[in-house]
Structures are given as C-alpha cells and as structure tokens.
Structure 1
Amino acid sequence: MKGCLFIHGFTGAPYEVEPLANYFKETTNWVIKVPTLPGHGVTLALKGHTYNDWVSHAEKELLELMKQVDEVYVIGFSMGGIIASYLAAKYNVSKLILLSAAAYYVNPKQLMLDFKEMVKDFLKGSIYENELFNRYKKKIVQTPLRSTLEFQKLVKVIKPYLEKITLPVLIVQGECDGIVPVKSAHYLYNTIPSEMKELCLLPGSKHLVCHGEDYEHLKKLVEDFLHDHNNDVKHVNPSQQINIH
C-alpha cells in the first residue's frame, strides 16, 4: 500500500493542493493525507504558533501515515515544500515533489506586474473581481509580523537539510510566480544532491500552480513521476530543464 502526504503553504490551507490530492484519491487506492498546519486554514489564527509547531505537525502526520502504508510520497507546496524537504531528508520517503517551494520569497518583478494589474482593475472599478487582490488582502490583514519571521526562521533552519536529500525529486515552478521567484527552483535543483531529480517550469502559472492554467500539465507531470518505476535512474540536468508549453 502506498501513501501520499500533501503539505500546504504559509498562511494557506489544504485548498492550495486539493486539486492534486483529490485527483489521486479518485484514481488510486493510496492513503492520501492533507493536514492543516497549526494556525492555518480558511480563517487564520497564527498568533502564538512557531515554525516548530508547523514542522512538528507535519512530522506527526508523516509518522502516522508511515504506520499505515509500505511506501510514502511527500508533496509540498510553497512553505510546505521546505517542510517536505526536511521530512524527506530525515525519514524513509520514496519520492519528493516540490511545488513552488519557497527557498526564496517574493519575486519583485512579477509582483510589480501583478500590482499594475490590480491598479488597472481598481481604476476600472473592478478591483473586487481581481483574484489575487481578493486572495492576498485577507492574508495580509490576518498575518502577524511575528509569524512571517517564524516562516523566515523555518527556511533558514531547514536549508541545510536540502544537501541530505538523495531520493527522486520533482521540482515544479510557475514562471509567473510573484511570491516565490524562479531562482528558488534553480537553487533547490542545484543544492539537492540527488542524482534522480527533475526541474519543470510552467510558463503560464503564478504561485498557486494547482489552480493555474498549466494545471493539466502539472497533473500529468506529477502522475508520471509518481507512477514511473524507472525514475530512480532519471536525471535531468540544468541544460535539459522541461518547460511546459
């Protein structure tokens, strides 16, 4: 029996990865777990929670899953990708997938483009129809500065564990991501020493790759990677990175 643990991002919730999680629930007999990290969810209550709380909760979920199955895959989105990397370095995880993993945070160039679109919508009187505005205005209001500092601590503490990852890894990044820059994906690819790794860039996707225009391509990438029994010898080097068009 196989199991798959999905880990959402900072100030996020399971909805960030639900399209993929639901797909594998429908198409496999795997045990799928999509926990909500402490203080997270549709309504945020981050005050008082530390990065240790988030990591420990994900770790507990993984250990419980490992009791139920023989083989475990871990898929992490954004901050969840950093936590997933730690779990993959520490435990007997078979495959790791990093979606928009936040080794670096904020892409100024893309963020400015997104901001300009918001200004245009504001001037047209349609700002409340702007998806990014509606998604992030609530997060900004509900996120304490202390929580953001805890997120930064988490990235700093876990980065050294990247060099201990030797299992098959799939790294996926949206090229239009205003939250996590593309250089984050390149950093992960170059830092993780695994010989079984692949970097895939999605040209039309922003941060929420599971909800972006490249989702069908993303789904196929993930499905092929998890079902491929030969990817233990697969190695895509930086000059062979896959761009989905």
Structure 2
Amino acid sequence: MPVLPGAEPYRHEGGEVGVLLCHGFTGSPQSLRPWAEYLAERGLTVTLPLLPGHGTRWEDMQLTGWQDWYAEVDRELRALRERCAQVFVFGLSMGGALTLRLAAKHGDGVSGVVVVNPANKVHGLAAPALPVVRHLVRTTKGLTSDIAKDGGVEVGYDRVPLHAAHSLRNFLRMVDGELPQVTQPMLLLHSPQDHVVPPADSARVLGRVSSTDVTEILLEQSYHVATLDHDADRIFEESYAFIGRLAPSVGKEGTATGG
C-alpha cells in the first residue's frame, strides 16, 4: 500500500548523539516531523520510523498489534546505539508508552526520555468490552487532529480498528507495570486540555517511574497533538535543552556534528 502523503519515515545522519522519535496510535511520522527536523538542524542524528500498519489505511493496521509496533522502535533504537555515543528517545501519546518501555528495557542504553501527552490506558466505557466487541465491530471513530491551532491537521486514520485498540489496551497495561523500571532523566510535557489522553495519564506516569531527574511542563495552549500545536516551539526548545544538559557535546561548536 502507498504511504499517505506526509506520513513517510524520516532519518538524518548527524553527530554522535542520536534521537529516536515514536509517533502515536493511528498517527504517523507527520505529527513529529517538525520536531525531528528541528533536532536534525542542530546536528543530531535523528530517526523517526513509520510504525507497522500505520500511514497507509486502517485495514492494514487491523492486522498488526503492539508487538509489531514495539519491535520496530526497538530495532531502530538498537541501530542508533551502534552508531551513536548517546541515544535519547522521544514520544507522543502511544509513542510515549513505547518510549517508556524502551527506557525500562534498555536501561543505560537510553540516556534520557521526553514524552508528550503519554498514553497510560485506553479510556472510555467500552474499553473493558474490547475483547468481545472487536469480534463484532471492526472500527470506531478516529482520534486524529486533536489540535487547538486553526488549520492544524494530523495525518492519520479517521477510523480506529478495534483489534488494534484491544492490543493497545493490553500494551498499556503491561507498560504501566514496567514504569518502576524507568530510571532515566525524564522531561514530560502535557496538555491540560487533551481530548484523547487525559492529564491523569501523565500524573500516573510521573507517580510510577523511578526517575529522580524529572521535569514536568504544562502545555497550556495545546490539545493532544501538541507537537503540531501552539506549544510546538516550546517542546522543541525544551527537549533540545534537555539533551544539551545530559550530552555535553551537544551545542558545542563542531562536536555535535562530528567535526
């Protein structure tokens, strides 16, 4: 299947500090592309993969599950670790949950994490019924483009495949149990007004991780897809400053780019 325009994966070969970015459920790299390009322009090595089943049509996603999505970002992280001295992982929404699992599993292999409106559970009255309902109903209404900014559009699906939603629910429950294994420095940015992932999810993450170096920032002007919203520049700048604090070579003339 052809990839939706704008949903293509993105890579940039930069210096010895790498960043892996993980997009959200039913979304695509387009939601994080400006963030990835901002980091690439500053000499970092950046990879932003397209998760399996995403960025084409929802029918393709119906055939995938969390194991496929996690395997993709795990593979990308391992590749970055082979060529970079330090690696950071960033994520939005479900991408935040993928980020947190990578941190829990890879330990010192991840130097720090930045999560934006990280998902912690599947909400809604129908969530507990997903194991049964997914066999009766194929899809429900989509989740994309929760953006406050006029004209803001997220490239993703207008339907949510319920098989995939069931898999996501199982994944988030598993990640919740693994949060105490997350010890890395963390920057968590979240929107008080989010119509996809409630602020309670961010509070849960903050309350369960074992990280001692934690910064929380409120994104007052944005909805769920804050990386395409009014607070996008703040996310980019704060995340770059976070890396600069933990990776001494970043921001020094000539070193981040390997020169």
C-alpha separation in 1, matches of 2:72 and 2:23 = 12
| Bigger proportion of residues as helix | 1
C-alpha separation in 2, matches of 1:145 and 1:79 = 15
C-alpha separation in 2, matches of 1:103 and 1:68 = 31
Alignment of 1:206-221 (within 5 A): 206-221=223-238
Asked if residue 196 in structure 1 is aligned to residue 213 in structure 2, the reply is: yes
Correspondence for 2:53: 39
Conserved in 2, the CA contact under 8 Å of 1:170 and 1:225?
yes
Runs of 4+ in structure 1 over 6 Å off: none
Unaligned 5+ runs, structure 2: 1-15, 126-149, 249-259
User: 2:102 is matched by which residue type in structure 1?
Assistant: L
Correspondence for 1:149: 166
Q: Cα distance, 1:185 vs. partner?
A: 1.0
User: 1:62 is matched by which residue type in structure 2?
Assistant: L
Conserved in 2, the CA contact under 8 Å of 1:104 and 1:183?
no
Q: 1:174 aligns with which of 169, 191, 203?
A: 191
Structure 2 length-normalised TM: 0.74
User: 1:144 is matched by which residue type in structure 2?
Assistant: P
Correspondence for 1:205: 222
Q: Cα distance, 1:41 vs. partner?
A: 1.2
Q: Cα distance, 1:13 vs. partner?
A: 0.5
String of CA shifts for 1:190-225, please: whole Å, max 9, x gaps: 111111111111111101111111122222211211
Q: 2:105 aligns with which of 90, 102, 110?
A: 90
Conserved in 1, the CA contact under 8 Å of 2:62 and 2:162?
no
Q: 2:117 aligns with which of 78, 100, 103?
A: 100
Correspondence for 1:4: 19
Correspondence for 1:126: none
Q: Cα distance, 1:51 vs. partner?
A: 0.9
* 3-state SS in 2 of match to 1:66: helix
C-alpha separation in 2, matches of 1:194 and 1:88 = 11
CA-based RMSD: 2.3
Structure 1 length-normalised TM: 0.78
Correspondence for 2:255: none
Q: State the identity as a percent.
A: 26
Correspondence for 1:53: 68
User: 1:37 is matched by which residue type in structure 2?
Assistant: L
User: 1:139 is matched by which residue type in structure 2?
Assistant: Y
C-alpha separation in 2, matches of 1:51 and 1:65 = 21
Q: Cα distance, 1:131 vs. partner?
A: 5.5
Asked if residue 139 in structure 1 is aligned to residue 157 in structure 2, the reply is: yes
Unaligned 5+ runs, structure 1: 109-129, 232-245
* 3-state SS in 2 of match to 1:213: coil
Conserved in 1, the CA contact under 8 Å of 2:17 and 2:247?
no
Q: Cα distance, 1:106 vs. partner?
A: 5.1
Change (3 A) 1:146 1:131: farther
Correspondence for 2:83: 68
* 3-state SS in 2 of match to 1:149: helix
C-alpha separation in 1, matches of 2:161 and 2:205 = 28
Greater relative CO (CA pairs within 8 A, separation 6+): 2
C-alpha separation in 2, matches of 1:106 and 1:69 = 38
